[in-house]
Amino acid sequence: MDRAAMRRNRRIVAIWLFTVAAMILVMIILGGVTRLTGSGLSIMEWAPVSGALPPMSDAEWHHLFDLYKQIPQYSLVNEGFGLAGFKHIFWLEWIHRLWGRLIGLAFLVPLVWLGLTGRIERRLVPRLVLLFVLGGLQGAVGWFMVASGFLPDTTSVSAYRLVAHLVLALALYAAILWTALSLLRPASRRVVVPLAPRLLAASCAIMVALTIVAGGFMAGLHAGLTYNTFPLMDGQLVPDGWARLQPVLRNLTENVTAVQFDHRLLATATLILVTLMAALGPRIGLPRSISIALAVAVGCQYALGVTTLLLVVPVPVAAMHQAGAVILLTTVLVAWHRLLHGRLPKRPCAKGSRAAAPKPA
């Protein structure tokens, strides 16, 4: 295969992977909306195939509604909201699950076709198959999360399972995005960017990931419904009760006060690091467009976080905040990838220089 055909095939595969990544971004936003509206527990059965069809008759609707009435969320939160209310939360969760099935098809069908037609390089096949398997596992993890909300005296899912579901989704998104970027800009051994900027980019990616994980525990514990002031919490920079649980590590994931404080701290550290990388961008080899995107993404995301908190987690703003987290992660990964795959600039000819005269035979 000539180089032109190889580049063309790489572009085709990259466009496919970017499309799947965009669908995962939408899926993460849908997941956030279902959590914020309490819709995730409205479907009591996990039916990967038959569940693709919605209820077709009044009898089916009443059957599903009767199942929902058996869990604590109905009796403790939504008692008496009627079949119309149930249909509202049901459709949100059904769309969320349907979109997951569509992502699976959007990944599997082109994978098979591109593989059979020889457009995917052999070295990529094992990675892509593994990503597909992990995507299927994500569906099982999602049901494992939902099932935790059916336990007695429970009105929401386990925060730990929620974070596991979120982390796996983000890991899949990042892996697919990175693979697509690498197809458009293959690795070069002639990297000219110094180690320090690449470490800064890696640190930014780690901080964004940690902040998102902390945000997952914020969501799982409904921690955004408390301490709705900024920058102080209950009039203090470091609130009382940060370490009230024992052993102390439990506070990181189970103490509402500590979880919110940690999320604020990580978000602020992320703001500083990403802003620093954006400011240094032109000097360390990043295009101006990427530097601007970094500054805008981190600034908007921080502002959305503060707004979500001050307004006590309205669904539209909170959904935008979750989308902003993925967009910020995307910009940081693009910048990091660019720094890792830098190339030596072409050496311009010296002014007035001439080509060396050929040696006489």
160 closest CA partner among 253, 58, 78, 73? 253
Cα→Cα distances 111→12, 179, 332, Å: 11, 14, 27
Residues 216 and 249 in one domain: yes
Give yes or no for a contact between 176 and 21, defined as CB atoms under 8 angstroms apart: yes
Residues 47 and 173 in one domain: yes
For residue 352, tell me if it sits in a domain. Answer: no
Per-residue pLDDT of the chain (361 residues; tens, 9 = 90+): 688 888 899 999 999 999 999 999 999 999 999 999 889 889 888 888 878 899 999 999 999 999 999 989 998 888 888 999 999 999 999 999 999 999 999 999 999 999 999 999 999 999 999 999 999 999 899 989 998 888 887 888 999 999 999 999 999 999 999 999 999 988 665 556 788 998 999 999 999 999 999 999 999 999 999 999 999 999 999 999 899 999 999 999 999 999 999 999 999 999 999 999 999 998 988 999 999 999 999 999 999 999 999 999 999 999 999 999 999 999 999 999 999 886 533 444 444 444 444 444 3
pLDDT value of position 156: 86
Residues 336 and 228 in one domain: yes
Task: Give CA–CA dist 45/55, Å, rounded.
Answer: 13
For residue 240, tell me if it sits in a domain. Answer: yes
Residues 269 and 294 in one domain: yes
For residue 349, tell me if it sits in a domain. Answer: no
pTM reported for the whole predicted model: 0.90
Does the annotation flag 165 for ligand binding?
no
Residues 6+ apart with CB under 8 A from 54: 91, 94
Residues 205 and 181 in one domain: no
Residues 6+ apart with CB under 8 A from 257: 226, 227, 233, 239, 240, 241, 242, 244
Residues 170 and 243 in one domain: no
162 closest CA partner among 220, 233, 113? 220
- The backbone torsions φ and ψ at residue 233, rounded to the nearest 5 degrees and listed phi first, read -115, 110
Number of domains in the chain: 2
Report which residue type is found at 132. F
Task: Give CA–CA dist 40/164, Å, rounded.
Answer: 15
54 closest CA partner among 93, 81, 27, 84? 93
Residues 165 and 105 in one domain: yes
For residue 242, tell me if it sits in a domain. Answer: yes
Residues 6+ apart with CB under 8 A from 187: 340, 341
Give yes or no for a contact between 199 and 211, defined as CB atoms under 8 angstroms apart: no
Helix-, strand-, coil-residue percentages of the chain, each rounded to 5: 75, 0, 25
The residues with which 233 forms a beta bridge, in sequence order, are 236
Does the annotation flag 321 for ligand binding?
yes
For residue 354, tell me if it sits in a domain. Answer: no
pLDDT value of position 190: 58
> Which of 159, 186, 213 is the endpoint of a domain?
186
Range of the domain at 279: 190-343
Residues 171 and 49 in one domain: yes
Residues 320 and 229 in one domain: yes
For residue 358, tell me if it sits in a domain. Answer: no
Residues 145 and 116 in one domain: yes
Residues 216 and 133 in one domain: no
In a 13 Å sphere around the CA of 142, the CA atoms on its Cβ side amount to 27
> Which of 186, 202, 222 is the endpoint of a domain?
186
Please count the other Cβ atoms lying within 10 Å of the Cβ belonging to residue 92: 18
For residue 351, tell me if it sits in a domain. Answer: no
Q: How far apart are the first and last CA of the chain?
A: 39
In a 13 Å sphere around the CA of 224, the CA atoms on its Cβ side amount to 24
Greatest Cα-to-Cα distance within the chain, rounded to the nearest angstrom: 100
> Which of 186, 201, 226 is the endpoint of a domain?
186
pLDDT value of position 345: 39
Residues 176 and 305 in one domain: no
Chain-centre distance for alpha carbon 108: 21
Burial class (CB in 10 A: 0-12, 13-18, 19+), 177: buried
For residue 65, tell me if it sits in a domain. Answer: yes
- Residue 284's H or E segment, with its range, is helix 256-284
